């Protein structure tokens, strides 16, 4: 991201109210024009309440679900934070000081925006909120099942177009993004117009995780984000002629803990059949587990860390109340392999769900594990 007047003022020690902007200064002999403080700005430097603009060489997109973990993120790597927790003005100021965008969460039942008047009203309400909180855009996260060419199908496409048009007009340089499943092939019934949506917004965040939401073959525990499945999903988007620069690859910073109805052998944990959206089996049979808890548990498990070379993912087994559990997750090895997909196909960038799932305590082991996860996002 370029170093404009705001960044130069911070590096030089000047505050923006005293900074003479080139366009407003006039001749060298003219008196300087002072920039007025931004009304309602929560930051000490009012320049930090001005929206960021420009495109990064590599997008690193993080979701934040609230709390104070953001104070310990690797700000040297981040470019965008999507706030899915309560609004925190301190987070905004800190992010802008580090040239990192902060964007709203955009979620609305699709049935509520079929009507054009309701749709426009919703978008305008989000623009007003973004302006009042000095944010840099919005991340649209809907994830509902939508039938091909239904009323919802067309309404969703129009929502993305209208959101992008209005945000770009009202907040110059703002960013509008849309979260999509790991593949465009109607995953979980999400039969969207992916081409038009990609054309309309700044980029798609490809949620390359929860890939066992619909298990059609053997009902056994599997990796949350198998490498080749991740790769095939990205390639499927590109086969639709979606420009790779419109794709950000999302990776999981969590895993799934599956209780086994029967453990045949390591890597063959039979699951209770829990149907989901037509599939006879799903990851609903397990529970999500954050990376920080996985790291506390893996070395105390029966097996320690195993590696599945076909799925290119780690897992381990433990027992509680006479029931075997198999935990599949991602770690620096599996994430760095997926991050290389970003480099190979020149994707827009990489991101994760979610940045709060690491251990940000001062424990030396935890600090090393956390640093390795942030580093894994950068392809070699």
| DSSP labels, 302-326 | SS--EEETTTTEEEEEEEETTEEEE
Question: Using CA atoms, how far apart are residues 104 and 240, in angstroms rounded to an integer?
Answer: 28
3-class secondary-structure state, position 122: helix
Gap between the Cα atoms of 100 and 48, Å rounded:
11
Do 80 and 175 contact (CB within 8 A), yes or no?
A: yes
In the set 59, 99, 143, 144, the catalytic residue is 143
Distance CA 367, CA 276 (A): 38
Concerning whether 265 is annotated as a catalytic residue, the answer is no
Place of tokens 């024009």: 33
Strands (E), the chain: 59-64, 80-83, 101-106, 137-140, 175-181, 203-207, 247-252, 254-259, 262-265, 268-270, 287-290, 306-308, 313-320, 323-328, 349-353
**Is residue 295 a contact partner of residue 369, using CB atoms and an 8 Å limit?**
yes
The Cα–Cα gap between 298 and 187 comes to: 31
Cβ atoms of 44 and 335 closer than 8 Å: no
In 3D, which of 102, 118, 131, 108 has the Cα closest to residue 41? 131
What distance in Å separates the CA atoms of residue 287 and residue 301, rounded to the nearest whole number? 17
Residues forming the active site: 143
């Amino acid at each position: 991201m370029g170093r404009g007047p705001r960044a130069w003022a911070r590096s030089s020690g000047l505050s923006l109210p005293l900074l003479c902007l080139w366009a407003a200064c006039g001749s060298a002999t003219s008196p300087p024009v002072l920039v007025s403080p931004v009304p309602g700005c929560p930051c000490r430097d009012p320049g930090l309440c001005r929206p960021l603009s420009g495109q990064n060489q590599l997008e690193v997109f993080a979701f934040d679900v609230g709390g104070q973990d953001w104070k310990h993120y690797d700000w040297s790597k981040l470019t965008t934070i999507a706030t899915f927790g309560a609004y925190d003005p301190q987070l905004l100021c800190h992010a802008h000081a580090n040239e990192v965008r902060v964007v709203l969460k955009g979620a609305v039942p699709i049935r509520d925006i079929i009507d054009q008047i309701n749709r426009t009203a919703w978008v305008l309400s989000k623009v007003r909120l973004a302006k009042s909180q000095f944010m840099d855009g919005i991340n649209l996260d809907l994830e509902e099942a939508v039938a091909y060419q239904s009323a919802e199908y067309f309404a969703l496409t129009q929502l993305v177009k209208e959101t992008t048009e209005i945000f770009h007009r009202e907040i110059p340089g703002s960013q509008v993004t849309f979260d999509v499943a790991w593949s465009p092939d109607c995953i979980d019934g999400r039969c969207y117009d992916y081409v038009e949506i990609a054309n309309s917004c700044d980029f798609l965040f490809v949620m390359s995780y929860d890939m066992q939401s619909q298990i059609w073959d053997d009902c056994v525990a599997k990796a949350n984000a198998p490498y080749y499945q991740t790769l095939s999903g990205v390639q499927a988007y590109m086969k639709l002629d979606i420009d790779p620069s419109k794709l950000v690859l999302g990776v999981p910073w969590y895993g799934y803990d599956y209780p086994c109805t029967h453990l045949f052998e390591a890597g063959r944990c039979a699951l209770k059949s829990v149907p989901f959206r037509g599939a006879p089996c799903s990851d609903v049979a397990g529970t999500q587990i954050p990376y920080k808890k996985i790291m506390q548990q893996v070395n105390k498990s029966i097996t320690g860390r195993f590696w599945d070379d076909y799925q290119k993912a780690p897992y381990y087994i433990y027992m509680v109340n006479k029931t075997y559990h198999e935990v599949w997750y991602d770690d620096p090895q599996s994430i760095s392999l997926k991050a290389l997909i970003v480099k190979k196909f020149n994707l827009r960038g990489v991101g994760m769900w979610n940045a709060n799932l690491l251990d940000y305590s001062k424990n030396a082991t935890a600090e090393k594990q956390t640093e390795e996860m942030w580093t894994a996002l950068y392809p070699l």
